[in-house]
Amino acid sequence: MSSTGTKAVLLRATEKKLILDEEQKAIYTGIVDPQWNVFAISNGGYTLGILLNCAQNFVVRRIGKQQKDLLSCSTSYFAGVSAKVPFTVEVRLLKKGKSTSIVETDMLQKTAEDGGMLLCVRASAIFTDFASLRSDSLLKQVSILPNDFSAPVPPLISDPTDRSSEHPWWEKQKIPTVVEDKAAQDQAFQKDGLLAVQSMYFPEEHVDEVDMGSYNITALALYSDTSGDFNRMMPKRLHKLTNNFRGFWFATVRLSIEMAQPLPTLPLQKAVTRGKTRFLNEGRWCFEIEIWTHPTDADRLNLPKGTDSILLAVCKQQALSMSASVNKKTASKL
């Protein structure tokens, strides 16, 4: 709980209740908040935020806080999640390891037709301990196999504590901080896609330390999905063909997140995102989104001098361009 006696807005949005707690499995229930819906279909990042909250809660309770850090996740969307309808989330432990563990989560809702449970969203997630992955003092790199020098050690990103001139990683990871990079957009319009750079904000409010992990994992999921105006990011030639995409919406089919850094220990209420879209085939689009820390948080994050932001995660989303007429009901299947 926050100091004001009420939970922060992102925590309230993903409120859930644990109703079954076993060694290998847990079940949570809750109500979908219509505030986070697009038309009548819940925002893809919002439902992912619920799933990651449940998964992280399970990992912390059953494995321990040492593996609370999200390393990666992959999510598939099978059916629309209805607003104001209870959901059930099932979390299953697939692998418990010393440095990484894998869980699978399902979101289900009752169908109006027969009252049966419909699988709406499924996510698999890997949780780890970023501190131990950076414990390799020789290589000073994140390693999936910490301190095992006889095995291949794939570096993910240079250790932020490494200030050596031989590895000036921060010089390569600066990012424009304007809301929109007009030059990049004009150049991208000549190609088959559009690059959009945005500053994003959530309400500035107090978040207690005990709630920080849940708050930030929700913010991460929402940033991964809401960072681009898909209509605006489409190539000009398609705007002409579709009358500026009026009456179109983009249903998320798959969404993945790969972490480059552990989530910060301060509220992730601001971020900078870079989004680029590509047309694949048959109305299917791929959106690649980078999530960076906001430059105004540089001092709070103790970043090296001259570094305004660092890369937190890389997200990929596949979506279908569909007519909004498909989704006139309050509950709809994709």
Name, of 84-88, 170-174, 180-184, the range with top average pLDDT. 84-88
**Quick one: average pLDDT of 204-214?**
90
Tell if the pTM clears 0.85, that is, is over it: no
pLDDT range class, residue 63, cuts 50, 70, 90: very high
Q: Is the pLDDT of residue 26 over 90?
A: yes
Whole-angstrom distance between the N-terminal and C-terminal Cα of the chain?
Answer: 37
CATH architecture of 9-133+175-327: Beta Barrel (2.40)
Are the beta carbons of 88 and 117 closer than 8 angstroms? Answer: yes
Model pLDDT, residue 315: 92
Model pLDDT, residue 38: 55
The CA dihedral of 64, 65, 69, 74, to the nearest 10 degrees, is 40
Model pLDDT, residue 190: 40
Local structure of 170: helix, strand or coil:
helix
Model pLDDT, residue 276: 76
Model pLDDT, residue 230: 56
Name, of 2-11, 73-82, 247-256, the range with top average pLDDT. 73-82
In terms of phi and psi (left: phi > 0; alpha: psi -120 to 50; beta: otherwise), the region of 260 is alpha
Q: Is the pLDDT of residue 122 over 90?
A: yes
Cα–Cα nearest to 288, from 328, 255, 315, 310: 315
